[in-house]
Structure 1
Amino acid sequence: MDKIDRHILEVLQKEARLSTAELAERIGLSPSPCARRLKRLEDEGYIENYQANVNKTKAGIAMSFFVEVSLNSHQEDSIATFEKALSDMDEVINGHVVSGSYDYLLEVVSPNLDGYERFTRKLHKLASVKDIHTHLSVRKVINKTTLPIFV
């Protein structure tokens, strides 16, 4: 990973729809070496996929919540069942195992409070869930869609 590779990643995070020729022009390479570098970054897993950032409001998402979840069992099969259930819940857009007073921190979206209530009912039905605490996001103050490149 050199300076040019980092530049490629920075540019693609902002404009993933660039053609290889356009990308090459932006970073100051000819198209063939740029294409080889791009392919290598994909093959080595630096670039996982290409996606569109969808406007939440236009998609009918009016509310975001951060949900702290504590489990009553930390057995491997119980954790696997819980995490599989989370992955099947469309409302959960991010989930993290965390240290501290709870086990998971989830980012959950909903069109309204009724939708969130339906989600919490599904969550409480999971046998391994001991307790949940919810924080309503009032306003997003930072919306970074790019990652810093530290390598």
Structure 2
Amino acid sequence: MVAQIDQFDRKILALLQEDARLTNGDLSERVNLSPSQCSRRRQRLEDEGFIRAYRAVLDRDRLGFSLVNMVTVTLATHNRDNARRFAELVSRLPEVQEAHALTGEMDYILKVITPDLKSLAEFVNDVLLPHESVQHVKTAIVLQTLKESAALPLG
């Protein structure tokens, strides 16, 4: 169910997902509300869970994590316990930036960040493949990222 928010809330959310460092004064100038109204609205949006967190977006390449990999995983058996074990494994792995359960041939797709090919090989061979829940792993190295965004299309 989509919660009811008005055009001011949407504009505040759109601006904050673009730049979370905006002050209530900055927001007030851009949405034509007073700083106190923006403050109350921001607090309500946080309290109601529309804003889950504020974070910095780090430069992957500058920090030595230049290899982006898409890893598909097929589970050994398809039951709730095996899926839970795999989910627990993935939640502990800092290299995994995203993990999605899929329909179709593969069970999961992971976005995995590594510094180099050697690290990717170690991740697959020493972490994923030996895990009891995993049957098969396929990797694809991203050659070029055309778009990368966590922003929602708020209009």
Same fold at TM > 0.5: yes
Alpha-carbon distance in 2 for matches of 1:131, 1:103: 10
Helix, strand or coil at the partner of 2:36? helix
Aligned residue identity for 2:103: S
Runs of at least 5 residues in structure 1 that lack an aligned partner in the other structure: none
Per-residue CA deviation, residues 46-100 of structure 1 (Å, 9 max, x unaligned), is 1110000000001111101101100012222221111111111111110000101
Q: What is the total number of aligned residue pairs between the two structures?
A: 150
TM-score, normalisation: structure 2: 0.93
Does 1:126 pair with 2:131? yes
Q: Extract structure 1 runs of 4+ deviating beyond 2 A.
A: none
Helix, strand or coil at the partner of 2:129? helix
Helix, strand or coil at the partner of 1:141? coil
Q: 2:27 aligns to what?
A: 23
Does 1:142 pair with 2:150? no
Alpha-carbon distance in 2 for matches of 1:94, 1:145: 11
Alpha-carbon distance in 1 for matches of 2:30, 2:20: 13
TM-score, normalisation: structure 1: 0.95
Runs of at least 5 residues in structure 2 that lack an aligned partner in the other structure: none
Q: Which stretch shows the higher mean deviation, 52-61 or 76-85? A: 76-85
Identity of aligned residues (%): 36
